[in-house]
Structure 1
Amino acid sequence: MKPHDSATLPRPIAAPGTTTTDAAQTHGGRGMLLAGSGVGLFSLSFAATEWSLRGFGPWSTVGLRGAIAAVIAGVCLAVFRAPRPQRRHWAGLATVGLGCVVGYPALTTLALRTTTTAHSAVVIGLMPLATSCYSALRTRSRQPRAFWAAAVAGAATVAAFTLYEHGGAPSGADLYLFAALLLCSAGYAEGGRLAREMPGWQVIAWALVAVLPVTATLATPAVTGEPVHISATALTGVAFLGLSQFVSYIPWYQGMALIGVQRAAQIQLAQPLLNLLWAALLLHERIPAAAPVAALLVLACIAATQRAARRN
């Protein structure tokens, strides 16, 4: 099947007694709700990572969350007798696994050892932009100049914020975060593409199982080599990460399959602000004045890319 975006998704068939417009609205509304559910769960991952790091080392956190999620995914695949993916699907599944299951968790966990959740939220706020850009390049869809101008403006805003926060030079944490969003945006876009050909839950489930050797290899020596201080907070953090590593992607990929990658990216506009909210409420962090300002500027740039893409 040739990759396509929301503009070329099949038109929904109207049920008896309804119009095609009604069917399209129901189709889109369900997709928006599913994608929004995924974003809501994603927004809690930074707070959960901070909790996990209070008792586990960074590599233990990454390995355990991936291994826990893979076990849950494997059981679901077995119970529902999910068919094995076709050969042409495995490259995309590998991108999802390496980007969303290994790369993003590892890099953001390393970053959160030395920077705050609030700062990370602004940098990772570029995720919708990076996802849309990756999707445009992957599908070779032509975008107007306004799309790319807004994309550059959003990237420049985040770059200026990181330089301002760290006295004129990016920190090591910023480099981790930029690498994380590039890897995860590729995983998001590939997962959304695959979810049009197979159920969304199977996309993330097979990706988790595929990289289980990697996450298990990380978890075993990390737990024995890194200091471990068991507490209710740390266990809650790592348990939530393991569960959400699988569960949160189910509505996210299914929503992307229904409304397209670039439209789903609009839902992610709320994620930086949600991250800042959880940082204040759950972690009691002091939010720098520049953080919400930068987050809102990034949201404006992303909204501009979405408007430009719709007009194309």
Structure 2
Amino acid sequence: MLGFSLSFPGTAWSLAGFGPWTSTGLRGVIAALLAGAALAAARVPLPARQDRPGLLVVAGGCVLGFPLLTTLALQTSSTAHSAIVIGVLPLATAVVATLRTRVRQPAPFWWGAVAGAAVVLAFTLLQSHGRPTLADLYLLAALLVCAAGYAEGGRLARRMPGWQVIAWAVVAALPVTAATAVAALAVEPVHPTAEAVAGLLYIAAVSQFGAFVVWYRGMAGIGVARAGQLQLAQPLLTLVWSVLLLGEHLPPAAPPTAAAVLVCIAVTQRARA
């Protein structure tokens, strides 16, 4: 969660020197090179046939869909606002995981999860004056595809090491990310400043690969739904980074929203499946 909390600031930095499609493509290519090297060094065999459809879901949701949609959103939305909107992701992940794994959660878990999502949605509408913006629609689509990738990745992490789940996913997405990078570099301007390159390297090495390694391992240990609710704390951390690293203005409603979200996390973690 800590690694993911810097994803939006890192993306904002990368957008200072790369276009959204270039950033997304290069992010996936660099992550695939790192993952491919790790798989080769460990001499990991190809995934079982029955696991490949799930890996494609992870690739589509977490490697392609979420990075591109959030990058497009951050062109017109602040990282602080975007982080709060993505706070709905844990509830979406819990719903998908419950449908996919058939692991039932107790009523207090759902009360906390729904309350956390409601607080986030209220904040979103408050900031957009009651009307979702185009960036909000990008973020909504991003959290839906990412929820599917999280849930499927967490399920697969019970069958194979978590690092192999994300490694095979980014490798599977390489043909698409490489084609995207090549096409985007031909049309989007590139200004590779130190800040932009640092941001790109972070979202490639950590956000797209390293953070997922421990994330899927944790999901396999405590369950997808419960682990997903811990990510309700991510907006709070991202708000801190957006102020400290990007100098963004913190919306007055952001701190109480983040505090309310933390209460909801406590409720979901005390519940037992």
TM-score of the superposed pair, with normalisation by structure 1: 0.83
Gaps of 5+ in 1: 1-38
Q: Say which of 120, 124, 128 aligns to 1:166.
A: 128
**CA RMSD of superposed structures (Å):** 1.6
Residue of structure 2 in register with 1:17 after alignment: none
Task: Give the deviation of 1:79 after TM superposition.
Answer: 1.7
Residue of structure 1 in register with 2:234 after alignment: 271
Q: Is the 8 A contact 1:124 1:178 kept in 2?
A: yes
- What CA distance in whole angstroms lies between the structure 1 residues aligned with 2:219 and 2:227? 6
Q: Say which of 244, 252, 277 aligns to 2:215.
A: 252
Q: Is the 8 A contact 2:112 2:264 kept in 1?
A: yes
For the pair 1:99 / 2:61, whether they are aligned, the reply is yes
For the pair 1:87 / 2:49, whether they are aligned, the reply is yes
Gaps of 5+ in 2: none
- What CA distance in whole angstroms lies between the structure 1 residues aligned with 2:97 and 2:176? 26
Alpha carbons of 1:101 and 1:253: their partners in 2 closer, same or farther (altered >3 Å)? same
Report the residue type matching 2:246 in the other structure: L
Deviations 1:36-58 (A, max 9, x none): xxx11111111110000000000
Q: Is the 8 A contact 1:99 1:184 kept in 2?
A: yes
Residue of structure 2 in register with 1:295 after alignment: 258
* Alignment of structure 1 residues 188-267 onto 2, 5 Å: 188-244=150-206, 245-267=208-230
- What CA distance in whole angstroms lies between the structure 2 residues aligned with 1:293 and 1:179? 26
Task: Give the deviation of 1:162 after TM superposition.
Answer: 1.5
- What CA distance in whole angstroms lies between the structure 1 residues aligned with 2:149 and 2:40? 24
Counterpart of 1:248 in 2: which secondary structure? helix
Deviates more, 1:126-135 or 1:55-64: 126-135
Deviations 1:228-283 (A, max 9, x none): 11211111111111111111111111122222223323432331111011001110
- What CA distance in whole angstroms lies between the structure 1 residues aligned with 2:32 and 2:128? 37
Deviations 1:121-140 (A, max 9, x none): 11112222222222112122
**Share of identical aligned residues, percent?**
61
Q: Is the 8 A contact 1:201 1:254 kept in 2?
A: yes
* Alignment of structure 1 residues 1-312 onto 2, 5 Å: 39-244=1-206, 245-308=208-271, 310=272, 312=273
